[in-house]
Amino acid sequence: MDRPTIQDVAREARVSLATVDRVLNNRGGVAAKSINKVQYAVEKTGYVRDQFAANLSRGRGYRFTFLLPAGQSSFVRNLIAAINVEAKRYLKDRVNVEVRSSKTFDPAAQVAALRRIDPAQTDCAAVMVADVPQVHAELARLRGAGVRILSLVSDMTGDTRDIYVGPDNETAGRMAGSFMGRFMRNPSGPVLVIAGSLAARDHAQRLLGFRQVLQADFPALTVLPVAEGFDDARRITAIAARAMDDAPLMGIYAIGAGNSGLLTALSQTNSVFRPVTILHELTETTRAGLRADLFDLVIDQDPARAVTRAMSIMRDLSDGQTVGPDRGNIPLNIFIKENVQ
C-alpha cells in the first residue's frame, strides 16, 4: 500500500495544497474550519509528515552543537571522529554540526563556553559538563531560550536537560567491582581507585557502584582514599607508582582517562606482583595494555554508537517530537586480551 501523501490529505479535506501546507507548518492565516478539516483528513488518511522534507521545502536546517572536554583524551578524540562521520552523513538533510570545547573538570570554563552558545543559532546542544549549580543555571537559561539540551556520557541531576545519552555509570562501576573480586584468587587487601574528578557525575556514579559491590561481595578488599588524576597522564603515573611503592596493591580501578600514565607506571614497576587492573573505554592505550598483560579488563561504552544515537535524538528533539528516556541508553561492552583487536 502506498504511503499517504499531502495530496491525499488535500483531496480528503477538500482544500488546496497551500492550505494543507499552512496548517502542517503552523503558518497561520487559515480559518478554524479549514484547520479542523485538515486535521481530520490527516487522521483519516494516516498521513505521516516527513519532517526532513518539510524543513527542506521552507529552507530550514538543523543546528547542533557538541560541547566536549578539552585536552583531547583518546576517548574524546574517538567521540569527535564519530561526530565528524555522522555530520557528513547528515549533510544531505541540512544538519550543521559544530564541536566546541571547554577545559576539563573546570565548571567556570564550562559556564563561559555555554554562554558563548547563541540560542538563535542553535536548535540542540549535547554537552559533557560538570554536575554543579552554576552549570545547571546556564543550561536552564539555554533551555528557556528554546535550545534542547542532551547530556552526553555523564548525566546531571535535576531538570537541567531533555535527555541523557550514555551508559548507566553506576552499573559500570558495579561491573568493575564484580570483575575485580572475581579475578583474584584471594580477594583481600588494598585497592587503588584513580578518578578524573569526583565532580564529574559519571566518575562519582562509577565509584559508588564499585564500592557497593566490594562492600557486599568482597569485604576484605579495602578501597584506599580516592586519588583524582584529572585525566593527566603524568599525574596518574606518579599516583600509581607511589601507591605501588607504599604497599602491594591487589587492584587498580581507573575510572577516567589519562591511562597512558597508568600503563607507564605498571610497565616500570619493580614489583613481581601486578595488581588486577580495570579501566574504562577501549582506546589505543587500553588496547596496548590488554595486549601486554598489564591491564586485565576494559569496560567500553562505544562512543560511535552514542554519537549516532545522540544525533538521531537531537534531530527529533529539534522537531518537537517526544523522545522516551530509554532511547538514550547505551549498552556496555567488555574487552579482555582475548577479544581485543
Q: Where are the domains of the chain?
A: 6-49, 62-166+303-329, 169-300
CA distances to 64, 107, 297, 324 from 338, rounded to whole Å, are 39, 40, 10, 37
Contacts of 244 (CB under 8 A, 6+ apart): 265, 269, 271, 275
CA dihedral defined by 308, 313, 319, 322, rounded to 10 degrees?
150
Q: What is the pLDDT of residue 164?
A: 97
pLDDT band at residue 29 using 50, 70 and 90 as cut-offs: confident
Looking at residues 240-252, what average pLDDT do you find?
Answer: 93
Q: What is the pLDDT of residue 179?
A: 98
Chain mean pLDDT for the chain: 91
pLDDT 10s digits, 92-102: 888 999 999 99
Tell me which of 11-20, 101-110, 308-317 is least confident.
11-20
For 201-265, give the DSSP string: HHHHHHHHHHHHHHHHH-TTEEEPPPEE-TT-HHHHHHHHHHHHHHS--SEEEE-SS-HHHHHHH
Q: What is the pLDDT of residue 338?
A: 96
Q: Is the pLDDT higher at 46 or at 280?
A: 280
For 22-69, give the DSSP string: HHHTT-----HHHHHHHHHHHHHHT----HHHHHHHTT--EEEEEEEE
Looking at residues 2-10, what average pLDDT do you find?
Answer: 82
Q: What is the pLDDT of residue 59?
A: 57
For residue 87, how many C-alpha atoms fall within 13 Å in the half-sphere facing its CB? Answer: 14
- Domain spanning 62-166+303-329: which superfamily? Response regulator (3.40.50.2300)
Q: What is the pLDDT of residue 118?
A: 96
Give, as one character, the DSSP assignment of residue 188: -
Tell me which of 41-50, 174-183, 230-239, 318-327 is least confident.
41-50
Q: What is the pLDDT of residue 48?
A: 64
Q: Do domains 62-166+303-329 and 169-300 have the same CATH topology?
A: yes
Q: What is the pLDDT of residue 159?
A: 86
- Domain spanning 6-49: which superfamily? lambda repressor-like DNA-binding domains (1.10.260.40)
Q: What is the CATH number of domain 169-300?
A: 3.40.50.2300
Q: What is the pLDDT of residue 60?
A: 65
With a cut of 80, say whether residue 83 has pLDDT above it. yes
Looking at residues 30-51, what average pLDDT do you find?
Answer: 78
Tell me which of 7-11, 51-55, 111-115, 193-197 is least confident.
51-55
Q: What is the pLDDT of residue 53?
A: 59
Contacts of 283 (CB under 8 A, 6+ apart): 74, 75, 78, 259
Grid cell for residue 138: 546556564
Q: What is the pLDDT of residue 280?
A: 98
Contact status, residue 198 vs residue 169, Cβ threshold 8 Å: no
Q: What is the pLDDT of residue 264?
A: 97
Looking at residues 284-311, what average pLDDT do you find?
Answer: 96
With a cut of 90, say whether residue 287 has pLDDT above it. yes
pLDDT 10s digits, 149-203: 999 999 998 889 999 999 999 999 999 999 999 999 999 999 999 999 998 999 9
Looking at residues 134-152, what average pLDDT do you find?
Answer: 96
